[in-house]
Structure 1
Amino acid sequence: MTLRPTDSSTLLIDGKLVPGSGGTFEVFDPSTEELLGHAADATADDMDTAIAAARRAFDDTDWSRDHAFRARCLRQLRDALRGHIEELREITVAEVGAPLFLTSAAHLEGPIDDLLYFADLAESYSWKQDLGNAEPMGIPTHRYLLKEATGVVGAITPWNFPHQINFAKIGPALAAGNTVVLKPAPDTPWCAALVGKVLAEETDFPPGVLNIVTSSDHRLGAQLAEDPRVDLISFTGSTATGRSVMRAAAETLKKVFLELGGKSAFLVLDDADLRSACSMAAFTVSTHAGQGCAITTRLVVPRDKYDEAVAATAKTMRNLRPGDPRDPGTVCGPLISERQRARVESYLRLAVDEGGTIVVGGGRPAEHARGYFVEPTLISGLDNTSRTAQEEIFGPVLVVIPHDGDDDAVRIANDSPYGLSGAVYGTDPERIARVVSGVRTGTLGVNGGIWYAADAPFGGYKQSGIGREMGVAGFEEYLETKLVAEPAS
């Protein structure tokens, strides 16, 4: 496949589409290992220019104060991107390896449409809140709160769901009145680059309000985090990298939002429809080859139904063969790179070394001679103390763990450094309510309930992150609060 519209794509800096000072870097198709084309390769100087542009746009224009104009620009961007939806779809499937069916939802169309939610919020939000009169120290005083944009936002995003994560940052940040420098992952630069091209050519966004800097150099993310002209860092990625971002940001005491790793538990209570629940767990972990931080990767089932649960899960998983992401029927596409496949395969070897049994999968599919595919894999015979059950693998790998009742299921779910997401299946509402209140995660689906939406805040407990993304809570991550006091009239 050759995607000529974005071959040798450009950076968006200060309203202009410009080449990268470092030339270009290669973009590959993870399903075929073929070279797709090239992306603009920014240098530290390019990033410096982008930060300066964002700083000027915030300090020297009315962008942060003109709520209606911001809403109009965001709606323009959404409509313009809709006009390029098929081009965006082709790019997303090609460079991400995203299954085609997901581009109608969280991999493309959903995130683009979410811009409308944040446009509406820019206009409807209560930017001024009256606190009424009081007499502190005997002085009659009228007080009110102003909500104001934080300033320049540095957004650093990963490769697994690039549109969803990019728009979950730039949508609320821009709606709140900030200016943004977006540094997307080098594995998926085109998804961001085309957004920059559309914004520059088809919207009224002022120069410098959004800057998009693609690069093969991971150090540009650290540069964003360290620069004193940047007021807030919004980062999604691994917990290890999140720690580094937080340390770098601490030097200038900038605000930090972190959405990090997960090892979420899928809890099946003893009154649940076991086969239905296990089938859903198998489908979930296989979707997009398990490359999602909130995907449930620990299946926790009643001990006396363990063998039945393993059999039911295996039956579904055997039918979820890795396939060409361009096929509408594909659920499990490729991993993003050879590096990521090697990581997943190292965990499969570790599972066996720890005493686990690979029930289904565990290898590369014979039907795909090329592409970074790994079979959806089910592992039994391990408990929750194993590294395979504790560490984030980021592949289509599910570990089945037995529990001894509801309280034990909650204990296992919480016995993790992470607390991002999870699922509970059962029939007794009171028991489900107790489990929900006991599990320490930022999101929790009950009996198939979907927690993802533009108005629903997403984030984690413990080492899964700091803060929330999406919804009003996510919007307010990008705001400061100013208290104003004046003499009471």
Structure 2
Amino acid sequence: MALRPASSSELLIDGKLVTGNGGTFDVMNPATEEVLGQAADATADDMDAAIAAARRAFDATDWSRDHAFRARCLRQLRDALLAHADEFRELTVAEVGCPAFLTSGPQFEGPVTDLGYFADLAENHEWTKDLGLAKPMGLKNTREVRSEGVGVVGAITPWNFPHQINFAKIGPALAAGCTVVLKPAPDTPWCAALVGKVIAEETDFPPGVINIVTSSDHSLGAQLSTDPRVDLVSFTGSTATGRKVMASAAETLKKVFLELGGKSAFIVLDDADLASACSMAAFNVVTHAGQGCAITTRLLVPREKLEEATALTRDAMSGFAAGDPTDPGTICGPLISAAQRQRVESYIELAKSEGGTIEVGGGRPADKSAGFFVEPTLISGLDNSARVAQEEIFGPVLVIIAHDGDDDAIRIANDSPYGLSGAVWGTDPDRINKVVNGVRTGTMGINGGIWYAADVPFGGYKQSGIGREMGVAGFEEYLESKAVATPA
């Protein structure tokens, strides 16, 4: 099968690859600004058909009860996608603009391989738990609790890590026995649509179990949120949009999973290896041009070491020039679109107006005549009340802020509407543990520790979201519990 479309992709609805009623829309390479081809542009009618197919597949087939079959289909999909790995890597770098090295990790290979983890959960989960004999109101009963898929899942995903986020929803939802309608971001439709092609042509997924609807129309996501046939909405994106999803879903009292924004703190204690910490902070924020919700974008350093830390971070960021994402050595690629570049540039100008100093970067690379590139940028001279320290920028922009000891660092880290991720560097285990316990955030890395894995739950505190994705906790988001009693 030739995977990459010659000109356009198709929707996957009810087991068939179909064209969208809205025609097509352009797919652009953010590194070159060239049009790669077209994606199927679905309408509300297409989304209606996809929801109907998912509802029918859940209600009228054995999909939700055949755990072994679901596991087999997930492993089929994993193996088929890996067989097309080279094509998917090329496609992902071209469409997402992500550095090529990331396709061996979270931009493709990692989340595809993780489908095996969710297949294992489908096989090994305790679907029926025996609670034994009891005498409620003096009457003998045997009781059990059954786990069942919640039903039809509407999955709405962003463009920054499309494979990782798509499969973090598809994998556990299908493993749990749900059926799915996936609405991917219009900036990266091919990454999802070509998965649909593999599903239709190389796996045994029954019609309607998984539907993939690409569209330039953002209102189709709202359609998933309001349609009474959808039982759960799983959304990853901005906090502002997450609020709208939650409000829309309230009309039909759907379950809602939200993975939203972040403004995570990288805390450096006074006993840390300062050079290593600053180098890692710089690497984190420039990776994939800073387009990650869990990237640490506030660097908190001891006040007495602020000048040294600023110099070390400036030097490190100077070595990570924005470059061609197809180059194996590139860490910082382009932003996804002209609109996103404008957003990042507006925050850099805002930092200047607030009295900040641009230590390095701050503009577009002089050697790039095309592509949505912004130089890795370090901002100093501001405190945590500045808007660039409080708001999610989603670009390669790091704000360095002084703290006055461990307690102050915890205070500053928590002085944010978000609580998604974080990091701490130091040598004293007790002090490190105090920071980890004190910062209200869903994940923390210690001295470069990597928490991302299929079995680790991911999600945030406060306005960073509701619920967890990945791990057993993420799998259980897609389950309902049914208590059953029988007279003994």
- Do Structure 1 and Structure 2 share a fold, with TM-score over 0.5? yes
Q: Find the counterpart in structure 2 of residue 245 from structure 1.
A: 245
- The whole-number CA distance in structure 1 between the counterparts of 2:143 and 2:302 is 56
Amino acid at match of 2:263: K
TM-score by length of 2: 0.99
- Contact 1:383-1:389 at 8 Å conserved across structures: yes
Cα distance per residue 1:128-173 (max 9 Å; x no partner): 1111222111111221110000000000000000000000000000
- The whole-number CA distance in structure 1 between the counterparts of 2:156 and 2:343 is 22
Whether 2:316 is the aligned partner of 1:321: answer no
Cα offset for 1:372? Answer: 0.2
- Contact 2:153-2:180 at 8 Å conserved across structures: yes
- Contact 2:341-2:373 at 8 Å conserved across structures: yes
More moved, 79-88 vs 328-337: 79-88
Q: Find the counterpart in structure 1 of residue 377 from structure 2.
A: 377
- Contact 2:199-2:205 at 8 Å conserved across structures: yes
Amino acid at match of 2:11: L
Whether 2:108 is the aligned partner of 1:108: answer yes
Cα offset for 1:6? Answer: 5.3
- The whole-number CA distance in structure 2 between the counterparts of 1:166 and 1:428 is 39
More moved, 391-400 vs 3-12: 3-12
Cα offset for 1:250? Answer: 0.3
Whether 2:7 is the aligned partner of 1:7: answer yes
Residue 362 of structure 1 aligns to a residue whose secondary structure is coil
- Contact 2:58-2:209 at 8 Å conserved across structures: yes
Correspondence list, 1:10-89, <5 A = 10-89=10-89
Q: Find the counterpart in structure 1 of residue 175 from structure 2.
A: 175
Amino acid at match of 1:298: R
- Contact 2:260-2:463 at 8 Å conserved across structures: yes
Q: Find the counterpart in structure 2 of residue 485 from structure 1.
A: 485
- Contact 1:6-1:190 at 8 Å conserved across structures: no
- Contact 2:183-2:221 at 8 Å conserved across structures: yes
Correspondence list, 1:31-430, <5 A = 31-430=31-430
Residue 258 of structure 1 aligns to a residue whose secondary structure is strand
- The whole-number CA distance in structure 1 between the counterparts of 2:264 and 2:129 is 38
- The whole-number CA distance in structure 1 between the counterparts of 2:138 and 2:413 is 53
Cα distance per residue 1:388-417 (max 9 Å; x no partner): 100000000000000000000000000000
- The whole-number CA distance in structure 2 between the counterparts of 1:413 and 1:128 is 42
Residue 483 of structure 1 aligns to a residue whose secondary structure is strand
Whether 2:440 is the aligned partner of 1:443: answer no
- Contact 1:6-1:194 at 8 Å conserved across structures: no
- Contact 2:4-2:194 at 8 Å conserved across structures: no
- Contact 1:11-1:17 at 8 Å conserved across structures: yes
- Contact 2:300-2:403 at 8 Å conserved across structures: yes
- The whole-number CA distance in structure 1 between the counterparts of 2:347 and 2:255 is 35
Residue 207 of structure 1 aligns to a residue whose secondary structure is coil
Cα offset for 1:5? Answer: 2.4
- Contact 1:28-1:34 at 8 Å conserved across structures: yes
- The whole-number CA distance in structure 2 between the counterparts of 1:322 and 1:434 is 37
- The whole-number CA distance in structure 2 between the counterparts of 1:187 and 1:86 is 21
- The whole-number CA distance in structure 2 between the counterparts of 1:392 and 1:110 is 26
Residue 5 of structure 2 aligns to a residue whose secondary structure is helix
- The whole-number CA distance in structure 1 between the counterparts of 2:37 and 2:435 is 49
Cα distance per residue 1:91-120 (max 9 Å; x no partner): 100010010000000000001000000001
TM-score by length of 1: 0.99
Residue 57 of structure 1 aligns to a residue whose secondary structure is helix
Amino acid at match of 1:339: A
- Contact 1:236-1:259 at 8 Å conserved across structures: yes
Residue 5 of structure 1 aligns to a residue whose secondary structure is coil
Provide the alpha-carbon RMSD of the alignment.
0.7
- The whole-number CA distance in structure 2 between the counterparts of 1:209 and 1:237 is 24
Report how many aligned residue pairs link the two structures. Answer: 486
Cα offset for 1:450? Answer: 0.3
- Contact 2:300-2:401 at 8 Å conserved across structures: yes
- Contact 2:4-2:87 at 8 Å conserved across structures: no
- The whole-number CA distance in structure 1 between the counterparts of 2:143 and 2:190 is 48
- The whole-number CA distance in structure 2 between the counterparts of 1:53 and 1:170 is 16
Amino acid at match of 1:323: G
Residue 55 of structure 1 aligns to a residue whose secondary structure is helix
Residue 252 of structure 2 aligns to a residue whose secondary structure is coil
Runs of 4+ in 1 over 3 A off after TM superposition: none
- Contact 1:107-1:161 at 8 Å conserved across structures: yes
Residue 251 of structure 1 aligns to a residue whose secondary structure is helix
Residue 233 of structure 1 aligns to a residue whose secondary structure is strand
Cα offset for 1:46? Answer: 0.2
Cα offset for 1:487? Answer: 1.2
Cα offset for 1:193? Answer: 0.5
State the identity %.
78
Cα distance per residue 1:11-46 (max 9 Å; x no partner): 000000000000000010000001111000000000
Residue 114 of structure 2 aligns to a residue whose secondary structure is helix
- The whole-number CA distance in structure 2 between the counterparts of 1:84 and 1:131 is 46
Residue 130 of structure 1 aligns to a residue whose secondary structure is strand
Residue 244 of structure 1 aligns to a residue whose secondary structure is helix
Cα offset for 1:7? Answer: 2.5
Cα offset for 1:309? Answer: 0.4
- The whole-number CA distance in structure 2 between the counterparts of 1:193 and 1:37 is 13
Cα distance per residue 1:251-301 (max 9 Å; x no partner): 000000000000000000000001100000000000000000000000000
- The whole-number CA distance in structure 2 between the counterparts of 1:30 and 1:6 is 19
- Contact 1:163-1:192 at 8 Å conserved across structures: yes
Cα offset for 1:4? Answer: 5.4
Amino acid at match of 1:387: R
